Amino acid sequence: MQRVVLHMDMDYFYAAIEERENPKLRGKAVVVCMLSGRNELSGSVSTCNYVAREFGIRSGMPCSRAKKLNPEAVFLPVRKEFYTSVSDRIMEILRSYADPGENGDSFEQISVDEAFLEISERTGGDFNLAFEIGMQIKREIKEKENLTCSVGIGPNKLIAKMASSAKKPDGMTVVNPQDLEAFLWPLKVSKLWGIGDVTARRLQEMGIFTVKDLAEHDVIGLISTFGKSRGTWLKQAAAGIDDSPLKERGGSEQIGRIATLPEDTLDKELISSLLERLAGDVIEKLDSRELSFRIVTVTVINSNFRMYTRSRTLTHPVSSKEVLLRVAREILGEFLSENRTEFRRVGVRVGGLQKSKGQKSLFDY
């Protein structure tokens, strides 16, 4: 069966979430910064939207330089916990489309905003069906999270990853096995996934400027310059060959849900009602994967868009909705006793996940 791999990459993820949370930001240059705290703009740009990029602002740039490039831009601090909660929900959507797989070999999250899916079995190796699955994923993420993503589909991870970058934002690119040369060879060699600046410069010194140049270069020359392993990989990558498997990320996975309240409020009953629905969704996801949890995290965002997060770690893993809801409501009560600004959104997340070994009761808890 022909292998089919899908790569999903969210579009300017952090800045897109900020635009979604505060629609007044749309149309403006939005820059999300990892601040050091020394002064107002000491730190570097984590990400920015496409409006900001038109001014030359880029990730990794000092925030002070970004400010000089566009003094009118909106600068916001990174809200990592909140972005992670959004990421967790998106990753659950993606996981539902992956092949059943065993030992975590059909889903691989590689960052907070991108992941690979093995969809060979679901598609039967049919790239037309893979395109339909990619469109379904894009629609579901848009409907549930009001965010866009770019999707690439290819016969392996290398091609899928590069295809997702071909049409951004909100793009979709499918590269069939017979189209590998047409897709790869015109590209600059620096665009080949896995080639950094140092390697690109050394290749250019050898007269290799495009992927086609690399594909046609003598492998012995590549090995003599880069070593056997790296030289062989360069030759294979230029031909679109990549046999690397997908690997499930371990240890840090979480599952969560967050939603907007019907109105900004401090009404405990209204907030608790939404919290119960979200807890039910989280438990449903856990049950479908036979997982239990040890960490409960509640997040609230108030009407001023300030986020507060608090967690509890249980003495042992559980998989009970009653326990999850009880702990979440305890944390909510603490938030309500400390805050006077109405809440806009509320979320619940679980971590410390592991395979269930039987249901724990409230008495055990």
% residues pLDDT > 90 (the chain) = 64
**Contact between residue 37 and residue 70 where contact means Cβ atoms under 8 Å apart:** no
Query: Distance between CA 179 and CA 109 in Å, rounded?
Result: 26
Of the ranges 81-95, 223-237, 286-300, the best mean pLDDT one: 223-237
Task: Quote the pLDDT of residue 249.
Answer: 60
Tell me 361's DSSP state: P
Taking alpha carbons only, the member of 185, 193, 188, 132 closest to residue 164 is: 193
pLDDT band at 10 (very low <50, low <70, confident <90, very high): very high
pLDDT at residue 84 above 50? yes
Query: Distance between CA 356 and CA 329 in Å, rounded?
Result: 23
Taking alpha carbons only, the member of 79, 13, 11, 15 closest to residue 52 is: 15
Lowest-pLDDT choice from 15-19, 118-122, 252-256: 252-256
**Looking at the domain that runs over 5-11+81-178, which CATH code has it been given?**
3.30.70.270
Tell me: the pLDDT tens digits for 238-290? 999 999 998 866 444 778 888 888 898 999 999 999 999 999 989 988 888 88
User: Of residues 21, 114, 118, 145, which has the active-site annotation?
Assistant: 114
pLDDT at residue 360 above 60? no
The listed CATH number (3.40.50.300, 3.30.980.10, 3.40.1170.60, 3.40.190.10) that belongs to domain 15-79:
3.40.1170.60
Active site residue 114: yes
pLDDT at residue 67 above 90? yes
Averaged over 187-203, what is the pLDDT? Answer: 92
pLDDT band at 359 (very low <50, low <70, confident <90, very high): very low
pLDDT band at 205 (very low <50, low <70, confident <90, very high): very high
Q: Is the CATH code 1.10.150.20 the one for domain 185-238?
A: yes
**Looking at the domain that runs over 255-355, which CATH code has it been given?**
3.30.1490.100
Tell me: the pLDDT tens digits for 171-184? 999 999 999 999 99
Q: φ and ψ at 37, to 5 degrees? A: 90, -5
pLDDT band at 363 (very low <50, low <70, confident <90, very high): very low
Residue type at position 309:
T
Taking alpha carbons only, the member of 338, 297, 337, 329 closest to residue 314 is: 297
* pTM for the structure as a whole: 0.73
Across all residues in the chain, what is the average pLDDT? 89
Task: Quote the pLDDT of residue 126.
Answer: 96
